[in-house]
Structure 1
Amino acid sequence: MPRVKYLVKSSALRPLALASLIANVALIVTGAAVRLTDSGLGCPTWPKCTDGSYTTTSAMGVHGAIEFGNRMLTFVLAGLAIACFLAALGHPRRKSLVRLSVAAGLGIPMQGVVGGITVLTHLNPWVVGLHFLLSVGVIALAYALWRRAAEGDGAPAATVPAPLRVLGRLTALASLAVIAAGVVVTGSGPHSGDRGAKRNGLDPAAISQVHADLVFLLIGLSVALWFALRAVPAPAAAVRAAGVLILVELGQGLIGFVQYFTHLPVLLVGAHMLGAGLVWTSTLAVLWSLRTRPEAVAEDAPAPAGEPARTAPVPAS
């Protein structure tokens, strides 16, 4: 049977998935730049930038250029998503990769639609928050595609005992809760994306305290997981991933406290937004380190001469 030629080599899937992951984290940063420079309505309508043009004009100044530049990043993300899909097609026996590439790719037009609603609702803080949380979901899918491209298609096999996997999931939930609370804090603060945009009406001090409490919970769970992984002992990759997560959390926490007590300077807020993306990807790395996927083996496949029969791995429940 002749081999099918694909437009993108299958070997390019992993670097393309990594590029997509980085670009989606970068979208958080460029979105922060739009908000922090009051450029949220630099293009006052959607899908056009103005009523008469899809592009910005010199009359719209720097705010129009910043908002339009952020919109253009969507096309970069879409191009990477399409390239990932085409590369995944080069793995005809790994339909899971194709499904992941499609799921991650569908997040891009969804981002565009939610971004458009954000503009049309004049930067409603709840819609802005949804826009950010959608990025968190796309980042998770892009990360999953990147990691799965280097794995087999066998059943997931646990690398640590069940209680540690539960602790890992609790840590991930706490990480997501911290991010969600941070979105609400942002909606109550002064950086709205436009001087005329409304805020969510919540007390910034009270919601910031809730956010800080969740941060302490997350750090506590992460430290407990790190010690537990060392005590088992767990694979070095799992211990390392948990240690990296703690370091990222401490750095992010430091930025958060400094920005709060220095009245939210723009550069620190932007760094904190980048930190949110890094905390989330570090959290995903911990989850991935708690299980592995070997190559799929057919149940009726004979074992090589001189080797015992293969048994199925313990499922990572």
Structure 2
Amino acid sequence: MNFFDRLRFFFREAAPSLRAQRRVALILLICQGGITVSGAIVRVTGSGLGCVTWPNCHPGSLVPLKGAAPLVHQAIEFGNRLLTFVIAAAAIAAVVAMHMACRRRELKVYAWLNVAGVVLQALIGALSVILELQWWAVALHFLPSMLLVWLAAMLYIRINEPDDGTPQRVFPQAISTLGAIAAAALAVVLATGTMVTGSGVHSGDAGVGMEGRLNVDPQAMAITHAICMYVYLFFTVVTVILIFRHRLDPKIKTAGLVLLAVILMQWGIGVFQYYMHIPRWTVPIHVAFSSIVTACTAILWARGIIRTGGEPASATGSPAGDAKRAAYLENSARKKVTG
């Protein structure tokens, strides 16, 4: 059996363990959040048009060209584009892992949506370059990334739940309702955040002034964004208080406290930005915490309905995956003995 035959046999017969699946999902989650940070670095360094075409960097050239634009701008923008392939690989790995382990449809859907989202984001990125970084095109590029972070976080947290378990509602209806309101408020916070950026000084390209920017008062927009943040924080605080009053699982309480902590850190960064007139170096940090807040909100939301029961010592989280994994390990052991 040659290398390619062995590879095909592995992907057809093997089933990754729960730990391996979680690792793949965690890598995907980090990648989905990480590319938003690299995109922010593109913006604050004015590298958005370091590559002026898509998919090529410059007409007739897939890679940066000497003298076509400042080399550092080309390197930053081209590096950001290359990260798309890293995320695509992570998303495909998640899909492969879910199918190899014979996981339930919910997990496969999360994984496939991440693949579809990467493709969509690549197209939106091309649109933003073609439109020379119009503010709404850049905002349209950022917001789906937050949705993909949410989906990756849901995949990560739900992998450990057994496929043959029974879904059970953990949160009382009041907590579920408040959690939904908080999640909707977060979406508004993220949307208004893109408007603050769209009306501000960081255009994304060193050669672009305020043309193509959102024509509103940046200070008023920042205050609107802050008000939305306070609304989101209020509903989250009330949700966490109710979680403690109902004496739910300690893991849920921890998730709530972690979420409140990262929201407060994000709030502190935002206040600092406002009074210091948005220093460039703070923007990637603020964007990074946007991903962290979104992921933590998704994790707390996922705790509201969990699967219980099922096989307590499951290796893959799926009865079919466990049988497949056991057969693969048995065949592998037999081959080692005989050969």
Contact 2:16 2:101 in 1 (8 A): yes
2:196 counterpart residue number: 185
State which of 52, 61, 79 in structure 1 corresponds to 2:60.
52
Moved over 3 A (4+): none
Measured at CA, do residues 76 and 258 of structure 1 come closer, stay the same or move farther in structure 2, by a change above 3 Å?
A: same
Amino acid at match of 1:186: T
Is the CA contact (8 Å cut-off) linking 1:181 and 1:207 kept in structure 2? yes
Give the structure 2 partner of residue 35 of structure 1: 43
Instruction: Tell me which amino acid in the other structure corresponds to 2:16.
Output: S
1:159/1:235 contact within 8 Å kept: no
Distance (Å, rounded) in 1 between the aligned partners of 2:232 and 2:105: 35
Q: In percent, how many aligned pairs have the same letter?
A: 36
Whose RCO is larger (CA < 8 A, sep 6+)?
A: 2
Offset, 1:92? 2.5
1:249 equivalent in alignment to 2:263: yes
Cα distance in 2 between the residues matched to 1:237 and 1:277: 21
Question: How far 1:155 sits from its partner (Å)?
Answer: 4.4
How do 1:226-245 and structure 2 match up within 5 A?
226-245=240-259
2:321 is aligned to none
CA shift in 2, pair 1:216/1:93, >3 Å: closer
Aligned positions of 1:1-317 closer than 5 A: 5-6=10-11, 9-11=15-17, 12-59=20-67, 60=69, 61-92=71-102, 94-153=104-163, 154-194=165-205, 195-196=207-208, 198-295=212-309
The one-letter code matched in structure 2 to 1:294 is T
One-letter identity of the residue aligned with 1:6:
F
Q: Could you tell me which amino acid in structure 2 is paired with residue 236 of structure 1? A: P
For normalisation by structure 1, the TM-score amounts to 0.88
Give the drift of 1:9.
4.4
CA distance 1:210–1:57, change in 2 (3 Å): same
Gaps of 5+ in 2: 1-8, 312-339
Contact 2:15 2:101 in 1 (8 A): no
Higher deviation after alignment, 138-147 or 14-23:
138-147
- Partner Cα separation in structure 1 for residue 262 and residue 61 of structure 2: 42
Contact 2:185–2:231 (CA under 8 A) maintained in structure 1: yes
Task: Report deviation, 1:295.
Answer: 4.8
Alpha-carbon distance, 1:200 to partner:
1.3
Does the 8 A contact of 2:32 with 2:149 survive in 1? yes
After TM superposition, give the deviation of residue 296 of structure 1 in Å. Answer: 5.8
Mapped partners of 1:91, 1:43: distance in 2: 40
- The residue type equivalent to 2:26 in the other structure is L
1:33 maps to a residue whose letter is I
Tell me the SS of whatever aligns to 1:57.
coil
Unaligned runs of 5+ in 1: 298-317
Provide TM-score, normalisation by structure 2.
0.83
